[in-house]
């Protein structure tokens, strides 16, 4: 009897459920933006890395780690990194998809031109690599740029959100932010030790209302430092893949970025 009871007990303790679910079909839609990125590429800790430097005279002396969404190093992401650089940050983003972003297989959620593409297998493969590569890469970047007055921030979109929370649970970065997150569990919010900015959309099947409320409950109950930003009328992907020809979507994207920059500027100045 005792043996069967112990088996039952283990089954009664399920693995922690996702608050922000793994990337889904909503991550396969959006608008690719026009513009010329200006950064350079370099291999750091065996991972291709995009580096965007601030314009001369605008440097604030701080470093921003960028964790991309499932679209990887596509034009929108590079331009957003350049925008953070325009705000004074030396920005580094790693390609943990290793040249295999999701858009190479699916242009959007209605695209069935590659019926053999296994989105779930793709996520498992790249999550396994990113989980191993990000800590190693973050340490390499920290070792390379750390100096007396240099501070580190991190930002993640969708797939990149858990890596933000992981870094905020350690000591390298001072502050972090994410927008329309995926792959988050309760422990990601419970374990953070540094200020977190959450940029969210009203409509988001990945991070829905009950999940957002639960995340906020954890942050409040654990007395974490956070700021919660919520936009109506937009959906998952708004901060990277909104339609720039829609004035409201463009404004929301710009406000999300401006809010994150202001959050970083404040905490890094403390």
86 given a catalytic annotation: no
Rounded CA-CA distance 191/139 in Å is 19
Q: What is the DSSP letter of 103?
A: G
- Tell me the chain's radius of gyration from C-alpha atoms: 19
Q: Which ranges constitute the DSSP H helices of 169-237? A: 186-190, 209-221
Q: Active site residue: 33, 180, 188, 236, which one?
A: 236
Q: Active site residue: 69, 82, 95, 204, which one?
A: 204
Q: At what angle do helices 119-145 and 161-168 cross, to 10 degrees?
A: 40
**CA angle at residue 162 from 58 to 267, to 5 degrees?**
35
204 given a catalytic annotation: yes
Distance set, CA 73 to CA 58, 76, 135, 208, 232 (Å): 24, 8, 19, 26, 27
Q: Active site residue: 26, 27, 154, 158, which one?
A: 158
26 given a catalytic annotation: no
As annotated, the active-site residues are 158, 204, 236
């Amino acid at each position: 009897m005792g043996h069967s009871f112990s088996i039952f007990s283990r089954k009664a303790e399920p693995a922690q459920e996702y608050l922000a679910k793994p990337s889904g079909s909503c991550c396969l839609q959006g608008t690719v933006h026009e513009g010329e990125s200006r950064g350079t590429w370099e291999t750091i800790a065996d991972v291709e890395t995009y580096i965007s430097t601030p314009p001369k005279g605008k440097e604030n002396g701080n470093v921003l780690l960028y964790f991309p969404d499932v679209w990887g190093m596509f034009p929108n992401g590079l331009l957003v990194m350049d925008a953070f650089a325009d705000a004074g940050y030396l920005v580094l983003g790693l390609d943990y998809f290793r040249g295999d972003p999701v858009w190479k297989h699916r242009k959007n959620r209605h695209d069935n031109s590659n019926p053999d593409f296994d989105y779930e297998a793709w996520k498992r493969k790249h999550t396994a690599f990113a989980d191993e590569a990000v800590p190693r890469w973050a340490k390499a970047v920290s070792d390379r740029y750390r100096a007396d007055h240099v501070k580190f921030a991190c930002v993640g979109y969708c797939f990149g959100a858990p890596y933000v929370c992981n870094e905020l649970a350690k000591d390298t970065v001072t502050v972090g932010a994410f927008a329309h997150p995926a792959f988050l569990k309760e422990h990601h919010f419970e374990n953070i030790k540094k200020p977190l900015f959450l940029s969210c959309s009203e409509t988001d099947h990945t991070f829905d209302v009950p999940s957002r409320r639960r995340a906020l409950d954890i942050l409040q109950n654990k007395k974490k430092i956070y700021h919660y930003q919520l936009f109506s009328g937009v959906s998952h992907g708004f901060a990277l893949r909104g339609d720039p020809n829609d004035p409201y979507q463009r404004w929301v994207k710009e406000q999300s970025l401006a809010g994150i920059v202001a959050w970083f500027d404040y905490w890094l100045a403390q």
